């Protein structure tokens, strides 16, 4: 018999794993630099900023639909009609965006891979919990809607939705933390360029 996970424990582990990953990511940003020339580096920064903006917008949009009902009710409209885990998907884009801001493709891949590994582990446990709680309804949703990669042909805007404004504001505040990466990386690049911070390795 499959053991039903405690969602509180699962989310605590997720936050701990992401905190450890963030520390690792910061050390990677501090010790590495970009091999690309200045124009290409600026192009990378533009892409990274766009992905972070998309992450913030997407997470807020998801929050409007889910309204704090995650784990208590199956939301199958809006972003949740095309992908079962759009909140995690947009966070993944934000993590990749932060990596691209560094000007390194390798760093962005590392950031994305680590984030995906953490979220996939969480999602697998969440699915077990939701199957045990919602049975056939969730089983049908699970079989019909992809886990991460959206299928936009399934889009269903739904009808009237009730919005939890506190939840939306909290999500926007949390997602906006991705913006801190922009000045942080700029400061690190300035310190490296002026020789105040040693550059250990330059990455493509």
Q: Is residue 146 part of a domain?
A: yes
Q: Is residue 2 part of a domain?
A: no
Structure confidence by residue, pLDDT tens digits, 171-195: 888 888 899 999 999 999 889 888 8
Number of domains in the chain: 1
Q: Is residue 29 part of a domain?
A: yes
pLDDT, the chain, mean: 87
Interatomic CA distance for residues 34 and 62, integer angstroms: 34
Q: Please check the confidence at residue 63 and state whether its pLDDT lies above 60.
A: yes
Q: Is residue 23 part of a domain?
A: yes
Q: Is residue 66 part of a domain?
A: yes
Q: Is residue 1 part of a domain?
A: no
Structure confidence by residue, pLDDT tens digits, 22-61: 898 999 999 988 887 778 888 899 999 999 999 999 999 9
Q: What is the pTM of this model?
A: 0.87
Q: Residue 38: its pLDDT value, please? A: 76
Strand partners, 104: none
Phi and psi torsions of 157, nearest 5°: -70, -15
Q: Output the CA torsion sign for 58, 60, 66, 70.
A: positive
How much is the average pLDDT of 116-143? Answer: 89
Find the length of the chain: 204
Q: Residue 60: its pLDDT value, please? A: 93
Q: Residue 200: its pLDDT value, please? A: 84
Hey, what are 176's tokens?
A: 């906006």
> What is the residue range of 91's domain?
9-203
Q: Is residue 90 part of a domain?
A: yes
Q: Is residue 4 part of a domain?
A: no
How much is the average pLDDT of 193-198? Answer: 85
């Amino acid at each position: 018999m499959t053991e039903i996970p405690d969602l509180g424990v699962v989310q605590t582990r997720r936050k701990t794993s992401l905190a450890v990953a963030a520390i690792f990511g910061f050390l990677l940003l501090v010790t590495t630099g970009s091999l690309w020339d200045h124009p290409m580096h600026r192009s990378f920064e533009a892409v990274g900023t766009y992905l972070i903006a998309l992450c913030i917008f997407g997470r807020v949009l998801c929050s409007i639909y889910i309204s704090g009902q995650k784990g208590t009710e199956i939301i199958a409209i809006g972003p949740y009609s095309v992908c079962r885990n759009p909140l995690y998907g947009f966070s993944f884009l934000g993590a990749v965006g932060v990596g691209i801001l560094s000007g390194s493709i390798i760093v962005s891949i590392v950031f994305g891979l680590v984030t995906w590994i953490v979220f996939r582990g969480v999602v697998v446990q969440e699915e077990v919990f939701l199957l045990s709680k919602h049975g056939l309804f969730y089983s049908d949703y699970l079989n019909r809607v992809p886990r991460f990669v959206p299928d936009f042909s399934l889009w269903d805007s739904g009808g009237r939705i009730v919005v939890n404004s506190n939840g939306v504001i909290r999500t926007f505040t949390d997602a906006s933390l991705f913006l801190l990466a922009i000045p942080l990386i700029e400061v690190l690049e300035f310190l490296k360029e002026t020789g105040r911070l040693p550059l250990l390795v330059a990455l493509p």
